[in-house]
């Protein structure tokens, strides 16, 4: 195992030297056993190490616990804490048997304090039982494309049937970051709710500009695990590190690398002209951007599905813009006609009427 300098010094020095020699950012290295850096909106993987290795993930599990609870539950529900939840081992928000809290309060305890007790209380309430909730967690994981993951509990305690991969956890993070409630809770640094004051364990909220949160994790067997998301200039990146003793620094280095080496190139903007065909403006029906490194360029092909001839109303879908990188399609945006086309006879009659 190589020796790593603390707080990014080795990674930052390597990056600076590479920039001086090559004139651009070169690949970053981390001390994690497995890692992924992914552009959130496009899903493009910008860096990976052992991304498909099945590993213990500790409390980063709670991202999925929270996502399922928010989707299936009601934040204002009152939850009565069971004996099983109150006496769950490991990290805790210090629940007491019989006390009553809202589901929202428990989710803060889950994501900020990493409460294993909160995870069990949430699972029992939302799933009817821990077993029922685990079925929903595994169903949701498959829906998200997490094909190399299995969940045996809602809190991440070590179990041979409980594992995921760096790539699967990045897929989970993408879904989580699309959920406004989850982002609101996970990005909170300190909150007082339900008679408790809780502080977020995620130090990246202070260390990294634009960090939007997510989740830390640790068990002796899993080591340190960390899933995070950060935003700069409208571009969002997701970083995942598993079994990483230098995770705070590694996530900082991953973000410095990703944002500098793979800036998002906007190819289409909703409601704006994307191209012209026979002098007729074609308007993008959606926005589209893709992360590109130096020397890369997207190709744009217009695929029209109808002739641009009258009669044709402004706003009518007329085809798609197809974007490709190195001959492989990476995205499509629908095209709308940017003006109304009328038959020449109708146009002439309209002109004649105007003279009468």
Active site amino acids: 59, 62, 114
Phi-psi group of 50: left, alpha or beta (phi > 0 → left; psi -120 to 50 → alpha; rest → beta): left
- Decide if 327 contacts 348 (C-beta within 8 A): no
- How many other CB atoms sit within 10 Å of the CB of residue 224? 19
- Decide if 11 contacts 28 (C-beta within 8 A): yes
My answer on whether omega of the bond before 188 falls inside 30° of 0, hence cis, is no
- Decide if 155 contacts 119 (C-beta within 8 A): yes
Per the listing, tokens 């390597």 go with 14
- Helices 103-111 and 62-72 meet at what angle, rounded to 10? 160
CA distance 150 to 137: 9
CA distance 141 to 168: 9
Which candidate, 154, 106, 115, places its Cα nearest to that of 133? 154
| Token reading at 226 | 């960390």
DSSP one-letter string for 183-227 = HHHHT-SEEEETTEEEE-S-THHHHSTTEEEEEEEEETTTEEEEE
CA distance 167 to 324: 23
Which candidate, 132, 124, 111, 127, places its Cα nearest to that of 85? 124
Rg, C-alpha atoms of the chain: 25
């Amino acid at each position: 195992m190589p020796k790593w300098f603390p707080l990014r010094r080795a990674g930052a020095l390597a990056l600076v030297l590479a920039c001086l020699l090559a004139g651009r950012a070169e690949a970053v290295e981390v001390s994690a056993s497995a890692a992924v850096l992914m552009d959130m909106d496009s899903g493009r993987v910008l860096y990976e190490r052992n991304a498909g290795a099945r590993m213990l993930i500790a409390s980063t599990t709670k991202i999925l616990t929270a996502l399922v609870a928010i989707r299936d539950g009601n934040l204002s529900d009152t939850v009565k804490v069971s004996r099983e939840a109150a006496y769950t081992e490991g990290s805790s928000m210090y629940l007491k048997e019989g006390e009553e809290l809202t589901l929202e309060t428990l989710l803060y305890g889950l994501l900020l304090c990493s409460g294993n007790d909160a995870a069990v209380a949430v699972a029992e309430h939302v799933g009817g039982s821990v077993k029922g909730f685990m079925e929903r967690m595994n169903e949701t994981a498959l829906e998200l494309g997490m094909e190399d993951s299995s969940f045996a509990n809602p809190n991440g305690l070590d179990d041979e049937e409980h594992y995921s991969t760096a790539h699967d956890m990045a897929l989970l993070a993408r879904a989580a970051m699309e959920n406004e409630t989850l982002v609101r809770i996970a990005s909170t640094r300190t909150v007082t709710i339900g008679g408790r004051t809780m502080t977020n364990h995620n130090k990246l909220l202070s260390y990294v500009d634009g960090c939007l949160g997510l989740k830390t994790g640790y068990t002796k067997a899993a080591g340190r695990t960390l899933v995070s998301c950060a935003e700069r200039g409208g571009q969002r990146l997701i970083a995942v590190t598993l079994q990483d003793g230098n995770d705070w620094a590694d996530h900082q280095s991953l973000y410095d690398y990703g944002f500098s080496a793979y800036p998002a190139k906007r190819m289409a903007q909703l409601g704006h002209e994307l191209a012209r065909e026979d002098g007729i403006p074609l308007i993008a029906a959606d926005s589209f951007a893709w992360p590109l490194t130096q020397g890369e360029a997207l190709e744009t092909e217009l695929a029209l599905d109808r002739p641009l001839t009258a009669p044709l109303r402004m706003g009518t879908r007329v085809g798609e813009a197809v974007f490709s990188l190195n001959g492989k399609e990476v995205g499509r945006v629908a095209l709308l006609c940017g003006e109304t086309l009328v038959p020449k006879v109708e146009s002439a009659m309209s002109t004649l009427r105007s003279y009468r």
